[in-house]
Amino acid sequence: MADKKLHIVMFPWLAFGHIFPYLELANLIAQKGHLISFVSTPRNIQRLPKLPPNVASHLQLIELPLPKLHNLPDNAEATTDVPYNVVHLLKKAYDALEPPLTSFLESSNPDWIFYDFAPYWVGPLASKLGIKTVFFSIFTAPTMGFLGSPSDLMGTDPIRKKPENFLVPPPWVPFPTTVAFRYFEIMRLSDSLSDDNDSGVSDAYRFGATIQNCDIVAVRSCSEFEPEWIQVMENIYQKPVLPVGQLPSTTYDDDDEEKKNDTWRWMKDWLDQQRKGTVVYVAFGSEAKPSQEEVREIALGLEKSGLPFFWVLRIQRGPYDEDVLKLPDGFEDRIRGRGVVCTSWAPQLKILGHESVGGFLTHSGWTSVVEAIQNSKPLVLLTYLSDQGLNARVLEEKRMGYSIPRDERDGSFTSDSVAESLRLVMVEEEGRIYRDKIKEVKDLFVNRERQNSVTKGIQSTDC
């Protein structure tokens, strides 16, 4: 059975923080000769990079048009296209993909489907069609272990009924850990725990039903890095858990490569002029958007740090976001020559790979964390949404990252704390531990032999 070639469908949620890890895993599996049908909406498929030649014949891109909904803007097919308060409408439209996905599965007859947390309805659908199912979690093992069992997530047997219950490790974690939310983090997630939205289904329920109805849980993790958390997942799910590695990002060619090369050229020219290991790279991913007050404190903190910096600032979430962020008055004049603020696309992997970059101020999204570790860049952490708080606790616990001190209730922070945190991690002797630890764990994250073994568990289960 080891030589059997499988047909696997991949169906990620409509967020690029989900789509790209799915694409990385799809590439790894396709390299072994299996056929992958990667399913998303037309605009998201069009925004994917050009596939590498060695997998193009084994990886087909399948477009399912997203149904139009009242109040969901035209061409809004990913979370990056809409303000945060409109994402629930995107989930409602995504749920309406069930009939066309059913038709595709019936006609293509795949062996497996890998699906995300949002389409909680895929498990029963695939079972009815005789297709084996994998819930592939782009969230890490500590996050999934902390969130709990399907019954707890679906609300049929909840142990945690108040926000305060999420501020400590749950009772099913049998070892000492600091992995838990801070108060401001869980309060920013309160809407995810409620089904009072236009989709009618909470994120917590989606997670629970997805886990309950799949055959295998695959998780973005490796047993050498967090074996105790993988065991927690197996204990609470009572089904196989398959760690697929950290999925380090690949640099792809692109149809728009010439334009992007021009953009990278001026960025590289600026980075080349800076001293080795001195530049702070600042970016918060495609989901997180700071408040106006937070932008002010970050800007003034960068200024006070005295360090050169390259800041990729997302001033709005899509063209329909009316809350456009602004920099403090006079800031750009005062930092001219020492800092760059980029409000458009930037090649994060290339920037992190430049020798002048000495540290990364990040939201703790796991893809960004992995890319920093790929390039041995120490981490300063400033969380905003979703699993980022739990990721930050893991990084703090392992001394791989340092969180900017914040008010526990509202999450506010000062420009002084930003400046002090950056200098601690990048310059001061006291922060050497963070610079050294990132280098120590690099092999666990980027070792290609580990990544190339990701299909073994699937094939043995298929037998």
How high is the pLDDT of residue 267? 95
What pLDDT score was predicted for residue 189? 85
CA distance 214 to 150: 11
Could you list the beta-strand ranges (E) of 101-234: 112-115, 132-137, 216-219
Please report, for the chain, the start and end positions of each structural domain, with discontinuous segments joined by +.
7-247, 257-445
pLDDT of residue 199: 78
Measure the CA–CA gap between 376 and 440, rounded to whole angstroms: 9
Helix, strand, or coil (residue 370): helix
The confidence band for 252, taking pLDDT boundaries of 50, 70 and 90, is: low
Residue in 113, 141, 135, 119 with CA at minimum distance from that of residue 234: 141
Asked if 257 and 336 count as a contact pair (C-beta separation under 8 A), the reply is no
Q: Where is 310: in which H helix or E strand?
A: strand 309-312
Q: Which residues contact 384 (CB under 8 A, 6 or more apart)?
A: 188, 284, 287, 288, 289, 290, 363
DSSP codes of every residue in 223-290 = TTT-HHHHHHHHHHH-S-EEE----PPPPPP-TTHHHHHHHHHHHHHHHHTSPTT-EEEEE-TTT---
pLDDT category, 449, cuts 50, 70, 90?
low
Handedness of CA 432, 438, 439, 440 (dihedral sign): positive
The neighbouring-strand residues paired with 125 are none
Residue 71, sorted as left (phi over 0), alpha (psi -120 to 50) or beta, turns out to be left
Reading the block at residue 110, the tokens are 């795949």
The fraction of the chain above a pLDDT of 70, given in percent, is: 92
pLDDT at 157 (0 to 100): 64
What confidence score (pLDDT) does residue 448 get?
Answer: 66
Is it the case that residue 146 has pLDDT exceeding 60?
Answer: yes
- Distance between first and last Cα of the chain: 6
Check residue 253 and give its pLDDT: 55
CA distance 379 to 394: 12
What percentage of the chain exceeds 90 in pLDDT?
78
- Predicted confidence at residue 281, as pLDDT, reads 98
**Residue 234 region by backbone torsions, left for phi larger than 0, else alpha for psi between -120 and 50, else beta:** alpha
Domain 257-445 part of CATH 3.40.50.2000: yes
- Which of the four pLDDT bands, split at 50, 70 and 90, describes residue 126? very high
Query: What pLDDT was estimated at residue 1?
Result: 42
pLDDT digits (tens, 9 = 90+) for 343-395: 998 999 999 999 999 999 999 999 999 999 999 999 999 999 889 999 999 99
pLDDT band of 159, cuts 50, 70, 90: confident
- Encoding tokens for residue 428? 């001061």
Q: What is the pLDDT of residue 447?
A: 74
Does 257-445 match 7-247 at the fold level? yes
Cβ atoms of residues 87 and 63 within 8 Å:
no
Average the pLDDT over each of 14-23, 242-251, 346-355 and give the range with the smallest value.
Answer: 242-251
Task: State phi, psi for 145 to the nearest 5 degrees.
Answer: -65, -40
Q: Of 61-70, 153-162, 454-463, where does the model show the most confidence?
A: 61-70
pLDDT averaged over every residue in the chain:
91
Of 312 and 198, which is predicted with more confidence?
312
Q: What type of residue sits at position 36? A: I
Q: How confident is the model at residue 104 (pLDDT cuts 50, 70, 90)?
A: very high
Locate the DSSP E strands across 7-106. Answer: 7-11, 35-40, 59-63
Work out the average pLDDT over 78-91: 92
* pLDDT reported for residue 197: 76
Q: What integer is the mean pLDDT of 229-240?
A: 97
Domain over 7-247 is classified CATH 3.40.1050.10: no
